[in-house]
Amino acid sequence: MSETTNSRFTPRIFSGIQPSGGLTLGNYLGALKRFAALQGDQAQTIYCVVDLHAITVWQDPETLRRNTREATAAFMAAGVDPARSVLFNQSQVTAHAELAWLFNTVARVGWMYRMTQFKDKAGKNSENASLGLLAYPALMAADILAYQATAVPVGEDQKQHLELTRDIAAKFNHDYKVEHFPITEPLIEGVATRVMSLRDGTKKMSKSDPSDASRINLTDDADAIAQKIRKARTDADPLPGSIDGLKDRPEARNLVNIYAALADETPDQVLARFEGQGFGAFKPALAEVAVAAMSPITAKMSEYMADPAEIDRILGKGAERASEIATPILERTKDIMGILRSR
């Protein structure tokens, strides 16, 4: 059904990353690397540093500004080209916040309480979480639907939020008897949709994990990357010849998947080379692949960060282009809802 509904819309890809602390290899493989690869396909690509999402938990203002620039640098270092994609920070396009308010009247409170990310982030004392943290998915739906985006590349952890985006679009279309919003397709593809912690193969690699050894940061230098891989938790068994043999070995499976994603191979291709070998052989090879792939990105990020004024200029320009797309869609939404506009 979404296929036919969406065929009415211009193919458009939207995605975002929060500037809430340094980015990780998970963000790179699950998101940034794929964002770059999607450019130049048939669809227009729109990428956003979602600062309004970041402030749903406390952010030091100076650090937030720096992280917003650093996330922008990471997009560009990963290959997102501001000439081929629209690249901007969310708060500079006011349509996001406005549409989010309209969606707050469409989404149901119960939908929000069911979100696992809310439960995880709010923790035991959820009464004390910010109201923004609860309403977060309505803002995310607004990010996407302000552009009538038809597809959204994300990692596995965002799947539930995208289902809610589809629910909001469907309820809006149904309540107002229109086909105004597409039913957005999640693009959760490849071997790195869920990169796991280097210390615990059952936990997602995350910038909020207290252990720095659990993740590779996009700002880590070659020595740090190699050392973290060397110390990554594994088991004592040799590697099997195919990924099926790693079902009950989450740490081993994670490292093989990371290798495959970095080297643009399938896990089975990687295992065909390392079958029968232990981690004494595999880890140094992985470290080499990781350093070769990540060092140019880290280097480019620091080059971009050396010129913050240029980053700000790029974001401003991107925001103008984004606004040109989002404003008419927001205005049409208001008209549909009966919100009077007279200027």
The active-site residue out of 171, 207, 283, 334 is: 207
Cβ atoms of residues 192 and 30 within 8 Å? yes
The active-site residue out of 124, 177, 203, 204 is: 204
Catalytic (active site) residue 283:
no
The DSSP output letter for 277 is: -
Binding site for ligand TYM (CB under 6 A): 14-18, 26-27, 30-31, 50, 53, 140, 143-144, 152, 154-155, 157-158, 161, 192-195, 204-205
208 carries a ligand binding annotation: yes
Q: For residue 126, give the 3-state DSSP assignment.
A: helix
Angle in degrees, CA 56, 50, 263, rounded to 5 = 120
In the bound complex, what is the minimum distance in angstroms from residue 330's beta carbon to ligand TYM? Answer: 16
Best CA proximity match to 106, nearest among 333, 332, 331, 328:
333
Catalytic (active site) residue 121:
yes
220 carries a ligand binding annotation: no
Q: Is 148 left (phi over 0), alpha (psi -120 to 50) or beta?
A: left
The active-site residue out of 121, 171, 300, 317 is: 121
In the bound complex, what is the minimum distance in angstroms from residue 37's beta carbon to ligand TYM? Answer: 14
203 carries a ligand binding annotation: no
Residue 72 burial (CB < 10 Å; 0-12/13-18/19+)?
buried
In the bound complex, what is the minimum distance in angstroms from residue 251's beta carbon to ligand TYM? Answer: 14
19 carries a ligand binding annotation: yes
Structure tokens at 278: 């232990």
- CA–CA gap between residue 128 and residue 121 (Å, rounded): 11
157 carries a ligand binding annotation: yes
User: With respect to ligand TYM, which residue has the nearer C-beta, 27 or 333?
Assistant: 27
User: With respect to ligand TYM, which residue has the nearer C-beta, 34 or 338?
Assistant: 34
Catalytic (active site) residue 204:
yes
User: With respect to ligand TYM, which residue has the nearer C-beta, 16 or 82?
Assistant: 16
Strands lying side by side in the sheet with 12-17: 85-89, 44-49, 12-17, 151-153, 185-187
207 carries a ligand binding annotation: yes
- CA–CA gap between residue 46 and residue 128 (Å, rounded): 34
User: With respect to ligand TYM, which residue has the nearer C-beta, 144 or 243?
Assistant: 144
Annotated binding site: 18-20, 26-27, 143, 155-157, 195, 204-208
Annotated binding site for ATP: 18-20, 26-27, 155-157, 195, 204-208
Annotated binding site for L-tryptophan: 143
Q: What amino acid positions are annotated as catalytic residues?
A: 121, 204, 207
